[in-house]
């Protein structure tokens, strides 16, 4: 982990959705740091709060959502307390977002050039050749015949090309922070790898930090430096990527990793799965939210564990993290708890 001050520092972030007059927390006390040149991944199942965390930081929440607490410090300013005008001055220029579905993010009635030009003019010095810069950007993200495709509309491009356009827009003003929200979900594996390789290359060249939102542990293994595992709105484990994959300390992380195919494991006809489903927002259990699905649960799990260090750069929110880390079988204690009167 870098010893430099983080580009982005998020503390105690809480975001709620209003359902019939009642607020329910989707993001519940998230802390994270993002340093220059670093890729920080937020991973977890659908509904864990990953995308809402990203949208909260970028101040792009829908009407039914609102940030109720916390701070997101960037360049000495708390993004959560800036006016909308001040935030618009940062979006696209200092902080950019790559969304997962370009057809809903690109304007279908504007050409690619028009959409790129808006960002280039905001982030460039007066007198720059906007068209030449736009063509250069399209070429840099691997779009063939950029001189021709720059005047096309989004529907005239393939899914992979549209995502490359989104990438070009995201890096046009050389931002310091890029938030990539499932940027390759709808793409085939080959195109996915090309997009992510390009994104990582540009982040390295700009010394920018990237917050990568994904549910794909293969993507995490290849591209992330630090991993934050989210479950039911909270970060339940944080560690450098190699340490997390080699020594998961939270039962949820362990379940995620055992449910993906790996070449270094014996071939099986059926991969293990985590039993059950994440709890609905309106029915979260008291204490650890993962306990109804957890093979390691004990009586103390009715109390909420904090994200505590188990190694200098490894944190987990689990009362039995040390035992999980060491591979201790969950059965004896679980059976004893369930058999208790």
> Total domain count for the chain?
2
Looking at residue 341, its pLDDT comes to: 39
pLDDT at 259: 79
pLDDT tens sequence across 288-312: 999 999 999 999 999 999 999 999 9
pLDDT at 332 over 60: no
The answer on 305 and 190 residing in a single domain is no
Domain that holds residue 58: 8-230
182 and 84 in a common domain: yes
Do residue 198 and residue 276 come from a single domain?
no
Q: What is the pTM of this model?
A: 0.89
CATH code at 131?
3.40.50.300
1 lies in a domain?
A: no
Higher-confidence residue of 294 and 99: namely 294
On whether both 213 and 91 belong to a single domain, the answer is: yes
Residues 173, 29: one domain? yes
The answer to whether residues 178 and 305 belong to one domain is no
pLDDT at site 263: 63
- Which of residues 112 and 198 earns the better pLDDT score? 112
Residues 153 and 286 in one domain: no
Asked if residue 275 and residue 203 are part of one domain, the reply reads: no
Residue 31 lies in a domain: yes
Indicate if 192 and 241 belong to the same structural domain.
Answer: no
The 3-state secondary structure of the chain reads: CCCCCCCEEEEEEEEEEEECCEEEEEEEEEEEEECCCCEEEEECCCCCCHHHHHHHHHCCCCCCEEEEEEEEEECCEEHHHCCHHHHHHHECCCEEEECCCHHHHCCCCCCHHHHHHHHHHHHCCCCCCHHHHHHHHHHHCCCCCHHHHCCCCHHHCCHHHHHHHHHHHHHCCCCCEEEEECCCCCCCHHHHHHHHHHHHHHHHHHCCEEEEEECCHHHHHHHCCEEEEEECCEEEEEEEHHHHHHCCCCHHHHHHHHCCCCCCCCCCCCCCCCCCCCCCHHHCCCCCCCHHHCCCCCHHHHCCCCCEEEECCEEECCCCHHHHHCCCCCHHHHHHHHHCC
Q: Does 225 share its domain with 256?
A: no
pLDDT in tens, 177-195: 999 998 877 778 888 888 8
* Higher local confidence (pLDDT), 283 or 134: 134
Residue 3 counted as domain residue = no
pLDDT classification of 125: cutoffs 50, 70, 90 = low
Task: Looking at the structure, tell me whether residues 75 and 212 fall in a common domain.
Answer: yes
Averaged pLDDT, 45-64: 92
* 15 plus 135 within the same structural domain: yes
End of a domain among 210, 230, 250? 230
């Amino acid at each position: 982990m870098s010893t430099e001050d983080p580009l982005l520092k998020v503390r105690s972030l809480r975001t709620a959705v209003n359902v019939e007059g009642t607020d329910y927390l989707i993001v519940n006390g998230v802390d994270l740091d993002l340093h220059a040149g670093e890729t920080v991944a937020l991973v977890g199942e659908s509904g864990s709060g990953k995308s809402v965390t990203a949208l909260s930081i970028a101040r792009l929440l829908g009407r039914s959502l609102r940030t109720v607490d916390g701070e997101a410090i960037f360049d000495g300013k708390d993004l959560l307390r800036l006016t909308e005008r001040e935030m618009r001055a940062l979006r696209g220029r200092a902080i950019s977002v790559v969304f997962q579905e370009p057809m809903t993010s690109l304007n279908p009635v504007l050409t690619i050039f028009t959409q790129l030009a808006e960002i280039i003019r905001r982030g460039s010095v007066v007198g720059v050749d906007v068209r030449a810069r736009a063509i250069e950007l399209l070429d840099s993200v691997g779009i063939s015949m950029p001189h021709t495709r720059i005047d096309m509309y989004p529907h005239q491009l393939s899914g992979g090309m549209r995502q490359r356009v989104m990438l070009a827009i995201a890096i046009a003003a050389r931002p310091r922070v890029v938030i990539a929200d499932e940027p390759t979900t709808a793409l085939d594996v080959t195109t996915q790898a090309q997009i992510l390789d390009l994104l990582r290359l540009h982040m390295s060249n700009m010394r920018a930090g990237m917050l990568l939102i994904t549910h794909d542990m293969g993507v995490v293994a290849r591209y992330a430096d630090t991993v934050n595992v989210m479950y039911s709105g909270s970060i339940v484990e944080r560690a450098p990527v190699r340490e997390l994959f080699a020594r998961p300390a939270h039962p949820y992380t362990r379940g995620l990793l055992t449910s993906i195919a790996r070449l270094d494991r014996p071939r099986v006809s059926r991969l293990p799965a985590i039993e059950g489903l994440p709890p609905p927002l309106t029915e979260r259990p008291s204490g650890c939210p993962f306990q109804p699905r957890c093979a390691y649960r004990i009586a103390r799990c009715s109390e909420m564990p904090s994200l505590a260090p188990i190694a200098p750069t490894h944190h987990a929110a689990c009362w039995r993290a040390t035992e999980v880390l060491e591979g201790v079988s969950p059965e004896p204690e679980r059976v004893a708890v369930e058999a208790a009167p």
